[in-house]
Each structure stands twice: as structure tokens, then as C-alpha cells.
Structure 1
Amino acid sequence: MNANVLANAIGPHEGTALRVKQVVLVVLGILALAVAAKIKVPMFPSPVPITMGTFAVLTIGAAYGPRLGLITILGYLLVGALGFDVFANSSAEKFGLTYMMGGTGGYLVGYVLATLYLGYTARRGLDRSVETMAGPMLLANVLIYVPGVLWLHQFTSGWEQTMEWGLTPYLIGDLIKLGLAALLIPALWKLVGDARS
């Protein structure tokens, strides 16, 4: 649990400059999550579109570590709860807590779980290679799906519809996204070099 995460390996390491860097990273992370959520493909009649949101969550979780990653994802959810249009299907008419309590609410909980889990795996140094990162990325996707599907089930007429609306159409796309994230983080490590503390 003593390995540096990517966010710690770049920029200032102490004092006020470190705090400024952390604030900037949180703001950039929230913006990245908001933009990624809007890159979407509707999957009618499902209320859950395919988005790049999971890619952003996986990348931030692995790059930021558990603490900064958690602050970032909670900041994103807070911005959304306050009514800003940062979620995949939120709009001027449907936003804030009303949106968050809808069909996609469970996936938002899963974002928190996945971010924490990947943050801890990165702290163990598993983010340095594709081979050690692929498994955690897959499990992080499971952590997004489990609360997402369980929550979505209350909005459907049965488990078959739940799976059709909240799981099966997304599997191939999510495999591609987790593969990209598993490639990206180790590649960034190669750019910054070995910065273990």
C-alpha cells in the first residue's frame, strides 16, 4: 500500500503547491467526468445510455488513488445534486437529486465503489502494467454494475427487462473502455518513470 499513484508522481509533492495541484486535479476530474457523461449513445428503451463516463471513472480511480479519487467522484456527485447538468441524461427539466434517484442512480453509487477500489489497487502498485491492471479494471466494472442493476430493477417489470436495460447491451462497450483504461494508466507511468516512494 506504499506505492505512489500517478497523480502523486507528477508536480509538487508538499506544501501549498501540493494543495493547489490537488485542487486543480479535482476540478479537472469533475470536468472530465461531466464531459465523458455527455459522450453517449442512447439505448432505447433503456434509461441508461452507453457513455464514456465509466472510462473516466476507471481512469480517475487508478490515476488519483483512493483519497483524491473519492473527493473527485463525490465532488462530481455534489455538483450534479446541486442541479448542474453533468450526468448522462440530465437536462434542464430533469436534474439534481430527482435525476440521481432515477434509473441510473445505482450506477452513480457504483462509480464511488469503483473509484475507491481502483485507488487502492493503484496504491498497491498494480497500475504499472496492463497485465496487473486488467483484472482490477474488470472488477471495478462489476462494482459499477451490481448496485446499478439492483437499483434499476425497481424501475422495470422483471429481471429479464432489468438485464436488457442495464447490463447486456453495455458489456462489449465496457470491455473496450476498461481495456483502454488498462492500457492508458501504465502508458502514462512509462512517460513519468518510476516514482515509487
Structure 2
Amino acid sequence: MKLVATPRVTLAGQAAWLLPIAAGAAALAIAAQIRIPFWPVPMTMQVLAVLLIGWFGGMRTALGSGALYLGLGAAGLPFFAGGALFGPTGGYLVGFVLAAAALGAWRERCGVPGLAGIAALNLAATGLIYALGWGWLAAITGDPAAAFAAGVVPFLLGDALKIAVASLVVARFARR
């Protein structure tokens, strides 16, 4: 019979694993507070935070950060810019988590491409956020065209700028 040693989990090891998750959740919460109050979906800086969390945190950190953010917001902390998790912004909130995780998974499996590749992947991740957010909003309102007009169109220019900024930051710093 062969005995296998169980690795010791140290406080430093736990902190090294939990700190990036807490930092990502905090970044999402702070980015939600930087907003322009549109209705029914406010414009925030969360797309920028999502893109950076995905590239710099990786898939597990993105999922952990997103789950912590959603859990704390659902518990009543004022983290959601548009209200409750099951309100008009619910699809966007879930989209944030999945988009960041998708970027993190890409980086872990394929590495960091050049600037054009980073921008294309950031655009695709933002498209995922839009698809889930628009779909959720359309389901709530019962009017897909109005949901698109209110939940996607007003954000296109601002999110294009966020994609550009995130792409430049990732291209500059993610390979280190």
C-alpha cells in the first residue's frame, strides 16, 4: 500500500488564490459605480473591468470574481448599477462573468495574440455580453426591438472605446 502525502494548505496559499478573486469582484463593484444613468440599463465601466479581469485573471479567477460579485450583490450589497440580479440588467451581469471566463480560458489555452487578435476577442466577449443582456431584456419586456434599442445601441460607441483601451492595455502588459 502506497501512502500519498496530502499537500498542506497554508494561509499564504489560500490568500494567493483568494486575493485575485476578491480584487476582481471589487473591480466589478467599483466599475458599476462609474455610470451614466440610462434606463433600463445604465452605462458603466464594467465592460472594461470584465475584459481586463478575463485577460489578467484567467478563467478560474474570472469565474470566482464573477460568482463573488453576483453573490454579494444578490445578498443586498449595492453592487448592481441597474438594480437587482433578476431585474433588467440580469443578463448583462451573467454575461460579464461568462465573457471574462471565456477570455481567461482563451489566454490559458492559446496565449495572448497580437493587438488585432486581442481586439477581436474583446469584441467577441462584448458581443456575448450584449447577446445575454439583450436576450434577457427582451424576455422581460416582451419587445426584442425595443430591448435592442435600449439595451445595445446606446452602448456601442462607449464599449468600442472600452474595447480599444482594454486591447491596448492587454497588448502592452499581458505578456509579462
Q: TM-score range by the shorter chain?
A: 0.7 to 0.9
Q: Which residue of 1 aligns with 2:134?
A: 149
TM-score relative to the length of structure 2: 0.87
Query: Are 2:10 and 1:25 equivalent residues in the alignment?
Result: no
Alpha-carbon distance between aligned partners in 1 of 2:32 and 2:173, rounded to the nearest angstrom: 23
Over the matched positions of the two proteins, sequence identity in percent amounts to 37
Structure 2, unaligned stretches of length 5 or more?
1-8
Task: From 147, 158, 161, give the equivalent of 1:173.
Answer: 158
Q: What's the secondary structure of 1:100's corresponding residue?
A: coil
Alpha-carbon distance between aligned partners in 2 of 1:138 and 1:174, rounded to the nearest angstrom: 9
Deviation at 1:177, TM superposition (A): 0.5
Alpha-carbon distance between aligned partners in 1 of 2:160 and 2:109, rounded to the nearest angstrom: 23
TM-score relative to the length of structure 1: 0.78
Higher relative contact order (CA 8 A, sep 6+): 1
Report 1:1-197 matches (<5 A). Answer: 16=10, 17-43=12-38, 46-90=39-83, 99-127=84-112, 129-156=114-141, 158-189=143-174, 192=176
Name which of structure 1's ranges 124-133 and 161-170 shifts more when overlaid on structure 2: 124-133
Write out per-residue CA displacement over residues 84-111 of structure 1, whole angstroms, 9 at most, x where no aligned residue: 0111133xxxxxxxx1111001111111
Alignment CA distance shift 1:135-1:18 (3 Å):
farther
RMSD: 1.7
Write out per-residue CA displacement over residues 31-62 of structure 1, whole angstroms, 9 at most, x where no aligned residue: 1110001101122xx31011001111111011
Counterpart residue type for residue 178 of structure 1: I
Alignment CA distance shift 1:189-1:150 (3 Å):
closer
Contact persistence 2:55–2:174 (CA under 8 A)? no
Deviation at 1:160, TM superposition (A): 2.4
Write out per-residue CA displacement over residues 118-148 of structure 1, whole angstroms, 9 at most, x where no aligned residue: 0111113443532221111011011101111
Counterpart residue type for residue 88 of structure 1: A
Paired residues, number: 167
Q: What's the secondary structure of 2:174's corresponding residue?
A: helix
Counterpart residue type for residue 27 of structure 1: A
Deviation at 1:80, TM superposition (A): 0.6
